[in-house]
Amino acid sequence: MQRRDFLASIAAAGAASLAACRNRQPPLPPGDLLGTALQIGHRLREQTLPAASETRKVPVLIVGAGVGGLAAGWKLAQAGFGDFLLVELEAAAGGNSRAGRNAVSAYPWGAHYLPLPTRESTAVRELLAELGVLHGDARAARPVYDEGHLCATPQERLYLDGRWQEGLLPLTGVGAGERSQYRRFADLIESFARRRDASGRPAFALPMALSSRDADLLRLDRSSMRDWLLAQGLDSPQLHWYVNHACRDDYGTASSAVSAWAGIHYFACRSGEAENAASDTVLTAPEGNAWLTTGMLRSIEARAGNRLLTGALAFRVAGGEGGTGDGPLAVDLWLPGEQRTLRVLAEQLIWAAPLFLVPWVFSGQARLKDAARSFSYAPWLVANLTLSRLPGERSGAPLAWDNVLHRGSGLGYVVATHQQMRVWRGATVLTWYRSFDELTPEVARAALRETPREAWAEQILAELEKPHADIRHVTSRLDVFRNAHAMVRPLPGLIWSDARARFAADGERLRFAHADVSGFSLFEEAHYRGILAAERTLRRLRIRFSSSLA
């Protein structure tokens, strides 16, 4: 779809809204159009920021206070090292795991769950133990998790052919032939999940750096997930819808454009278990994954004091004061709240911001800049609808935590108050997600910039009217959040490329700690990259510590 066609469809939705008003539909609910710091970030392109008015020195600088940057700071502080500065462009830490709150509930602006961590995700388990969510031995085969964070049932449902069904794999109207393909797909995924190489590594691990390097597995990165399915003789339309939904949901990209390695990884790597929950249960909270990022930030503050500087744009990184590569790295920060530039001289730099910024920020570093340009990013839209009461239901499965509309433009919605649903029947917040896999990322970013909140609101309400006829009457507020570069797209050839490997390397003074370094955006990947960068930094500083990755 071209940009003009997409914008025309949005305009048509606005016209439909006016027609609805004439038919005595309630007016669109109020709300805000929010997003990442677009205006400040675009100052990078202008290159008009002033010279530094102040210089500070710090042993370790962490740029980016998303999951990776917070994990790095958490590990440094845990090791007893507190002489670092953590800087963030946005007004608050958290990255894709930020959250909002109103009088009804907290709610996510991004990631909203964490699968049960695998035994390879030792650092995540260690964090969960510190936060009191994992009880007992963090390295146990089947730990016990706090019941309040285990997603209550029903966990998922799908709206298909006018009815809700439990689970997301389409069942209504699916014949014996397609069901046999379901079983064949499940068997293939199970074989990948059980497979170990000669060194004992899983075929698909989480974090991905611990995955097998067997040649036949690496070759999966050269083709798309859709093409891999077809090569296995799997052409069921409903199976393809299900796999495509999974790719859109985790990667913001259609299965026809996602690496087969990444697509299979989604299904085969999630082998975490619990003593008190089924393996497909997830950990969640009303605020999504913000409880994890706020937990890391509080831990940093408790151990090392306030180390966070928000509203700071890192716009230049040079090797030493003179840009020669000798001495500390010089990082220039624009502080828009103070209208000045601060230069930080860092002995060690952990870059935990997205990699697409590298060509705009780094001085020299031609190979890294070229590598960063091979990364592509998916835009994302999130809306939070505050409801005066639960919406009316069409027939079918009861309200679940995750609710998906078959072939909808969005990815569905989660219910912020789901964990209290057994005792709570009042107001709630629905968090609705949309990827833009039908558009090129550039066209989608233009749509995010140019489309008014009212047009998004109309489109969202029109879609949710299908299962909830009264949604307009019970929605009192509808806020929209735009993220133009929400996640890296695991296109064929990226994950096992030399370009990605360059960012995974340990530099003498510089290392990267963002989920982008793994080639796809998951909490576990960002957390691993942050911990790994911190441990490498501690070794460079010759500070003893106990590894969270062993």
Q: What is the DSSP string of 332-395?
A: EEEETTTTEEEEEEEEEEEE-S-GGGHHHHBSS-HHHHHHHTT--EEEEEEEEEEESSPPP--S
Question: Which residues 6+ apart lie within 8 Å of 534 measured at CB?
Answer: 71, 72, 73, 74, 75, 76, 79, 350, 513
Each residue's pLDDT tens digit, 148-202: 999 999 999 999 999 999 999 999 999 999 999 999 999 999 999 999 999 999 9
CA distance readout (Å), 62 to 285, 321, 353, 504: 27, 18, 9, 16
The yes-or-no verdict on residue 324 having pLDDT over 50 is no
42 confidence band (pLDDT: 50, 70, 90): low
The yes-or-no verdict on residue 388 having pLDDT over 50 is yes
CA 149 to chain centre: 19
22 confidence band (pLDDT: 50, 70, 90): very low
Question: Which residues 6+ apart lie within 8 Å of 126 measured at CB?
Answer: 138, 548
pLDDT of amino acid 319:
86
Residue range 464-485: mean pLDDT, rounded:
96
Please identify which residue in the block is written with the tokens 């790994």.
532
The yes-or-no verdict on residue 325 having pLDDT over 60 is no
Each residue's pLDDT tens digit, 192-216: 999 999 999 999 999 999 999 999 9
Cβ distance 453 to 480 under 8 Å?
yes
Residues above pLDDT 90, as percent of the chain: 88
CA distance readout (Å), 260 to 142, 195, 199, 280, 388: 29, 17, 23, 22, 43
pLDDT of amino acid 322:
37
Each residue's pLDDT tens digit, 330-384: 999 999 999 999 999 999 999 999 999 999 999 999 999 999 999 999 999 999 9
The yes-or-no verdict on residue 28 having pLDDT over 80 is yes
Each residue's pLDDT tens digit, 401-441: 999 999 999 999 999 999 886 555 689 999 999 999 999 99
Give kind and range of the element (H or E) at residue 315.
strand 313-318
Q: Is 358 exposed, middle or buried (0-12, 13-18, 19+ CB in 10 A)?
A: buried
pLDDT of amino acid 97:
96
Residue range 385-389: mean pLDDT, rounded:
97
Residue 355 corresponds to which tokens in the numbers above? Answer: 């990699």
Residue 358 phi, psi dihedral angles, 5° rounding: -55, -50
pLDDT of amino acid 517:
98
Residues of the chain with CATH 3.90.660: 3-30+377-488
Residues in the chain: 550
The yes-or-no verdict on residue 7 having pLDDT over 90 is no
Q: Please give the Cα distance from 359 to 343 (Å, whole number).
A: 19
pLDDT of amino acid 281:
95
pLDDT of amino acid 14:
53
Q: Please give the Cα distance from 230 to 263 (Å, whole number).
A: 13
The yes-or-no verdict on residue 44 having pLDDT over 90 is no
pLDDT of amino acid 12:
57
40 confidence band (pLDDT: 50, 70, 90): low
pLDDT of amino acid 41:
62
Residue range 103-124: mean pLDDT, rounded:
96
25 confidence band (pLDDT: 50, 70, 90): confident
Handedness of CA 522, 528, 531, 533 (dihedral sign): negative
Residue range 483-490: mean pLDDT, rounded:
96
The yes-or-no verdict on residue 23 having pLDDT over 70 is no
Query: How high is the mean pLDDT of the chain?
Result: 93
pLDDT of amino acid 511:
97
Q: Please give the Cα distance from 243 to 232 (Å, whole number).
A: 14
Helices (H), 168-236: 176-194, 215-218, 225-231
Residue range 288-296: mean pLDDT, rounded:
98
Topology of domain 3-30+377-488 in CATH is Polyamine Oxidase; Chain A, domain 2 (3.90.660)
Can you identify the CATH homologous superfamily of domain 43-99+288-374+495-540? FAD/NAD(P)-binding domain (3.50.50.60)
Q: Please give the Cα distance from 104 to 3 (Å, whole number).
A: 37
pLDDT of amino acid 15:
54
pLDDT of amino acid 21:
47
Residues of the chain with CATH 3.50.50.60: 43-99+288-374+495-540
